[in-house]
Structure 1
Amino acid sequence: MNNRIAERVADFLGRYPPFSELTEKDLLALAGGVDILYREKHRYIFREEDPAHAFFYVVHRGAVELRRSSSGEIMDICDEGDIFGLRPLMAGESYKLEARTQEESILYAIPIAQFRPLVTTYEEVGNFLIESFASNTRNPYARQHSGTLVGTGFGSEAAIPGSPPALLPLKAPKKLVTCTPDTPVKDVAARMTVKKVGSVLVLEAGLPVGIITDRDLRTQVVSGNHPIDAPARAVMTTPVITYPKGLTVTQAQLGMMKNQIGHLCLTEDGTPGSPAVGILSKHDLLLAMGQNPEVLMRAVGRSTRIKEIRAVRNRITRLLQRYLQHNVPMSLTMKIISELNDACIKQVILLALQKEPPPPVPFAWISLGSQGRGEQLLLTDQDNALVYAAVEAGKQEETQAYFLKLAGRINKGLLKIGYPYCPAEMMASNPDWCLPLDQWKKRITQWMRNTGSEEVLLSSIFFDFNYTYGAERLVRELTDFIFERVESHPIFLQHLARGALQSPSPTGFFRQFLLEQDGAHKDFFDLKHRALLPLTDAARVLTLAHRIPGINNTAARFEKLAEADPANRELFLSCSYATKALLKFRARQGLLHGDSGRFIALEQLSKEEKMKLKRCFKALKGLQELIAVRFQLKSVL
């Protein structure tokens, strides 16, 4: 490669870590050995289980998909400046994913033989790789791991899908309280009292040689075995059981059980011969497990007051934040958070029922909208309905009055635990959304026959319903009725499809983001209406058209559609990926700003984040073209 080309490659690589850490001389030398590859759209760079190449890759232009060949699921999309294919080279293993271009792409193939020495020469490069592999992200230095913005939770090709939350690393332990072997026990006890800790680490020459706990003081000093002025070495427990920092909940539990101890000493490399960085106690472990979904589920079930459920719901938000920080797969995150949300709603219903007479007839509580789809990660507006069994003549008004009162109590309870009322009053406490089964059937039939804009809007919201509590048979019967009616009202699907194409475009002619032009969110980007809603609407109408019941989650719907319609498999899998990516991005933005994450201030996003958002929009464009052709609506585009 001549110097001019090498200089261009070096200039590009120098914009991105870890290459930005190299000196100009070393960067130019590395660039001199780079091969520049052009690949057409949908060309493979490597396949799953292929032996690792002698190169890893950096995207110069275009985009590369990382997929699991078994399922076709997109695990990540690499854009400009992203590295892929490096971990197998460093680990000496085969590729765990397949890499294929999403569009015409230019790649830089960097020889591992030239790069490997830089890992030991430059501490920053080594740290980059360690952090990258530990966090399963390509770029651990990007804000909040933005390199995995459009990922389902996996940033590298070696990440393990479905990693249990118990395998997340524990937070760094508190600051150490220490003493020397010659420190008098009375001084150790005083230090523990002042610092409010249950243990003191005994250090000699800066290394851990023993530990003194409350239990040691009771059994060795209070019992009279040693005087209070005895040196620490006389009562300390030794040798110290050490583990490396970054311990997971499961590892800590096993360590304590195996050694029958209540404290673990954490050191730099996990051995007693390296400096101590903290002490982990059973209490610390219990606090960490307080963000475990099983613990939270039990806490919800034990709640006897609304404010107790609210406290647990706040812990669920912290659990979500932790999952996002550690890149837990988005599919798993949605399932866990949705189950916990459902548990909170059920407990609110149970508490409300305790304050009312027994229901006159069986009923079911239905969650609508994002919670009905299992996508309500943050505390957004309530959307719910109530369906009850047939009522004998003369008792209709009395029965509806009972359920409206019950629903009002439940909606109020949900408000108290953090879910705001729906501004459009699409809640079970509204008589229009609290009906017997036969009237729900009449209403659905009316929506399908009178296909005005209001009917399409109401049905689109309602068709994402999910059973939450009560007589499940009522919900099953309602579901079956809907699919029967859809088959006999094909024109309704066409109107529903037309509604799916009415959402405003996310970008303009030159691919710039289209912002709100007025109102309270002027100059913000509406992530919900411009990006997520079109995907949700399209998945719903296609699912109804293919008669796929029992799946409400948008990403899961696309994955099922990929099975039902192999000709459009690639598109549907891309849409599933985009949905999870956008939901993850919205959740992060909501947690960052303390709101729903719907409206985004673009100036606060990095260039990489903006680029990756636009990648998601490509799938949306192809999807809307498919909808227009499938339902003969070409004229509306």
Structure 2
Amino acid sequence: MTTAAIAPSLLAATVQDLRRHAPFSEMEAAHLEWMAGRLQLAYYPAGAVVLEPDAGMPEWFYVVKQGSVEAGGAAEDSVIKLLAGECFPLGALLAGRPVANQFRAAEDSFCYLLAAADFHALLEQSAVFRDFCTRRIASLLEQSQKAVQSEYALRQDEDSRLERSLASILSRAPVSVPRGTPLSLALQAMHDERVGSVAITDEADRPLGILTLKDVLSRVTLPGLPLETPIEKVMTAEPIALPAGATAREALLIMARHGIHHLLLVADGRLAGVISEKNLFAIKRMSVQGVTNAIANAADTEALKRAGRDIAALAHSLLAQGMQAETLTELIATLNDHLTRRLIELETAACALPAVRWCWMALGSEGRMEQTLATDQDNALIFTTANEADLESVREQLITMARRINEGLDACGFPLCKGFIMASNPKWCLSAEEWRSQFSRWIDAGGPEELLNASIFFDFRPLYGAEALAAELRAWLATKIQGNPRFLKQMTQNALRNVPPLGLVRDFVLSEDEMHPHTLDLKLNGSMPFVDAARIFALASGQSATGTAQRLKQSGQALRIPGEEVDSWVQAFHFIQLLRLRHQHGRERKGLAPDNHLNPDMLSVLDRRILKEAFRQARKLQARLALDYER
């Protein structure tokens, strides 16, 4: 490497050169001139190593001026080429650590060099430069998750299998037979190929169905069907299929929702492969399908208690493997849904219920499908009666059932709600007309405190029973809220009372509570600003989604909020959710009860910086909320 300071006479040309690239094109002239005056110019011949992990903490911030630099590991397919105007190594400089990859000149190249101290000074001076370096939370999250995987010593490949395309996981061509094939030939093909399923296709190789070994027992062996039977007589018709480019995590969630072992993959409508759960990931002692089956086969509360413990253990394992927070919280909620539905099935079978339509509704984090490892239960009941005179007797019978369900959920690891927001509370076991009246009171005349306590009811999601009752209530609610600025203003004022914990000098404002000193409440002050804002945006724009990320995305489009703003909010929310999960996981490993009170001193430099940026995004979100609805 050959370096030289840039001559003052070339300062203007250097500024002009930098102006051709982001973020320098948007920086204030004074900040860019300050930077240009401190740059050095370095020459690297083709093949020269610019930077490598063994060099320790980076001393320079690099901007490619001419030529190109390759960054990557040993695998050829992991190499990234950096061209003129591109910068490195942002992640290492922000985190104060060595680089993870080697940087090598792909050809004779020149780079601008800015000393690390000047890089950090520029971060403080220029908001544009700081945003460029820190707003891309997704890329920083990837680095953070790799550190988590290493810490838990359960890491898989660098490109986590759950994020890979299903096509890349396949190890063989699918085993298939045409319709009309006798069972004997289909079973022989499964035996010869040593596979657990066979796909059935038409003349154009389009999938028509699937038959698994598990199906053979219940559909062929036990009924005593002759082996000459055409396979389409016993196959699962119209099986669930995914495009070959879908990710493993998408397949995982679908398997959990539908309780299946296998999925067909298609490309251009034709069979491309068969993916099984064991293809996705290996989990010691348990799997998503195993937990799902245990729930489905549970005959009593004791069996469901064991399944509840398995859900928690599975969640810990998946977290350690680096599963994204959004996917993991949705998976936890999906499995909890299965458990709750099975418990309701068991209890309703033991009760003499009136012949009325009713629906069990999930509220709060379960309604949003955002449950973490520490969650209580929030639920309600909606029902209809044919006669007004039967209202109270129907309610009494439903409450008796709901009390048994609430107690059963408590036994399975979902503590009773301290605020008694549960279906067994007569206040929250209401007819459809009573629910409309209750929501009308909140919307038309609710005070700040009343609306604060009622906010989680707006996250309701049908879980069991006559789901149309909840859908009708949601549609009515969307119409009711339109054109009601008073309600939206009061909801906004409540949301803005919860200020993200950043100080004037952009450091954290920590709790002085004697029970949790020197901590951040990642639920109250971290996740909730995003949850509250997303709820208001969704209600204002008439969106039916209940999940925070979905609400932000859907309402962002409806309200014409720039996509990059919405993406930053969603990424920030997911990072805080990830920190909550990791913190709760760490406490449970130590034998402590999981909570949301995190000491930021326990974070790595990288995670601390991302958390600050996430809180800054919460401030931006609240500013947008205030602008739209506080007036």
TM bin (shorter chain)? 0.5 to 0.7
Once the two structures are superposed, residues 403-433 of structure 1 have per-residue CA deviations (whole angstroms, 9 ceiling, x without a partner) of 1111100000000000111111111111111
The whole-number CA distance in structure 1 between the counterparts of 2:428 and 2:596 is: 26
The whole-number CA distance in structure 2 between the counterparts of 1:370 and 1:501 is: 20
| SS of the residue 1:395 aligns to | helix
* 8 A contact 2:378–2:421 mirrored in 1: yes
Structure 2 equivalent of residue 346 of structure 1: 341
The whole-number CA distance in structure 1 between the counterparts of 2:477 and 2:574 is: 27
Question: Normalised by the size of structure 1, how large is the TM-score?
Answer: 0.61
Structure 2 equivalent of residue 387 of structure 1: 382
Compare 518-527 and 430-439 and name the one that shifted more: 518-527
Once the two structures are superposed, residues 513-567 of structure 1 have per-residue CA deviations (whole angstroms, 9 ceiling, x without a partner) of 2222224223321111111111100000001111111x11111222223333444
Compare 318-327 and 439-448 and name the one that shifted more: 318-327
Structure 1 equivalent of residue 486 of structure 2: 491
* 8 A contact 1:58–1:84 mirrored in 2: no
| SS of the residue 2:571 aligns to | helix
Which AA in structure 1 matches 2:615?
A: F
CA shift at 1:630, angstroms? 0.7
The whole-number CA distance in structure 1 between the counterparts of 2:595 and 2:98 is: 26
Partner of residue 37 from structure 1, selected from 63, 67, 74: 63
Structure 1 equivalent of residue 581 of structure 2: 587
| SS of the residue 1:36 aligns to | strand
The whole-number CA distance in structure 2 between the counterparts of 1:369 and 1:88 is: 51
What does 1:433-448 align with in structure 2 at a 5 Å threshold?
A: 433-448=428-443
CA shift at 1:154, angstroms? 12
Once the two structures are superposed, residues 88-130 of structure 1 have per-residue CA deviations (whole angstroms, 9 ceiling, x without a partner) of 999xxxxxxxxxx99405999xxxxxxxxxxxxxxxxxxxxxx
* 8 A contact 2:358–2:382 mirrored in 1: yes
Pair 600,470 (structure 1): closer, same or farther in 2 beyond 3 Å: same
Pair 517,104 (structure 1): closer, same or farther in 2 beyond 3 Å: same
CA shift at 1:355, angstroms? 1.8
Structure 1 equivalent of residue 81 of structure 2: 52
Structure 2 equivalent of residue 598 of structure 1: 596
Matched, 1:426 2:426: no
Structure 1 equivalent of residue 615 of structure 2: 617
Of all paired residues, the percent bearing the same amino acid is 25
Structure 1 equivalent of residue 448 of structure 2: 453
CA shift at 1:628, angstroms? 0.9
Pair 433,500 (structure 1): closer, same or farther in 2 beyond 3 Å: same
Structure 1 equivalent of residue 543 of structure 2: 548
The whole-number CA distance in structure 1 between the counterparts of 2:530 and 2:81 is: 36
What does 1:186-585 align with in structure 2 at a 5 Å threshold?
A: 288=283, 291-549=286-544, 551-585=545-579
* 8 A contact 2:325–2:578 mirrored in 1: yes
Pair 526,289 (structure 1): closer, same or farther in 2 beyond 3 Å: closer
Structure 2 equivalent of residue 176 of structure 1: none
Pair 434,85 (structure 1): closer, same or farther in 2 beyond 3 Å: farther
The whole-number CA distance in structure 2 between the counterparts of 1:337 and 1:164 is: 22
Which AA in structure 2 matches 1:621?
A: R
Partner of residue 129 from structure 2, selected from 96, 104, 110: 104
Once the two structures are superposed, residues 10-30 of structure 1 have per-residue CA deviations (whole angstroms, 9 ceiling, x without a partner) of xxxxxxxx96644xxxx69x9
Structure 1 equivalent of residue 232 of structure 2: none
CA shift at 1:351, angstroms? 1.3
Once the two structures are superposed, residues 591-619 of structure 1 have per-residue CA deviations (whole angstroms, 9 ceiling, x without a partner) of 11023431112332233222221111121
Question: Normalised by the size of structure 2, how large is the TM-score?
Answer: 0.61
RMSD in angstroms over aligned alpha carbons?
4.5
Pair 418,140 (structure 1): closer, same or farther in 2 beyond 3 Å: closer
Which AA in structure 2 matches 1:623?
A: L
The whole-number CA distance in structure 1 between the counterparts of 2:132 and 2:422 is: 52
Once the two structures are superposed, residues 15-66 of structure 1 have per-residue CA deviations (whole angstroms, 9 ceiling, x without a partner) of xxx96644xxxx69x96xx663399xxxxx99xx997227882117987xxx
Which AA in structure 1 matches 2:290?
A: V
* 8 A contact 2:381–2:429 mirrored in 1: yes
Pair 145,557 (structure 1): closer, same or farther in 2 beyond 3 Å: farther
CA shift at 1:375, angstroms? 0.4
CA shift at 1:6, angstroms? 11
The whole-number CA distance in structure 2 between the counterparts of 1:367 and 1:329 is: 23
Which AA in structure 1 matches 2:614?
A: C
Pair 567,454 (structure 1): closer, same or farther in 2 beyond 3 Å: closer
| SS of the residue 2:90 aligns to | strand
Pair 321,88 (structure 1): closer, same or farther in 2 beyond 3 Å: farther
Which AA in structure 2 matches 1:591?
A: H
The whole-number CA distance in structure 1 between the counterparts of 2:382 and 2:348 is: 16
CA shift at 1:140, angstroms? 7.9
* 8 A contact 2:351–2:401 mirrored in 1: yes
Which AA in structure 1 matches 2:601?
A: E
Which AA in structure 2 matches 1:394?
A: A
The whole-number CA distance in structure 2 between the counterparts of 1:580 and 1:519 is: 29
- Extract unaligned runs of 5+ from structure 1: 10-17, 40-44, 64-78, 91-100, 109-135, 148-152, 169-247, 249-282
The whole-number CA distance in structure 1 between the counterparts of 2:498 and 2:531 is: 11
* 8 A contact 1:162–1:332 mirrored in 2: no
Which AA in structure 1 matches 2:62?
A: I
* 8 A contact 1:62–1:105 mirrored in 2: no
The whole-number CA distance in structure 1 between the counterparts of 2:305 and 2:512 is: 37
CA shift at 1:360, angstroms? 3.5
| SS of the residue 2:581 aligns to | helix
CA shift at 1:464, angstroms? 0.7
Pair 505,165 (structure 1): closer, same or farther in 2 beyond 3 Å: farther
Compare 159-168 and 564-573 and name the one that shifted more: 159-168
CA shift at 1:340, angstroms? 0.7
* 8 A contact 1:388–1:474 mirrored in 2: yes
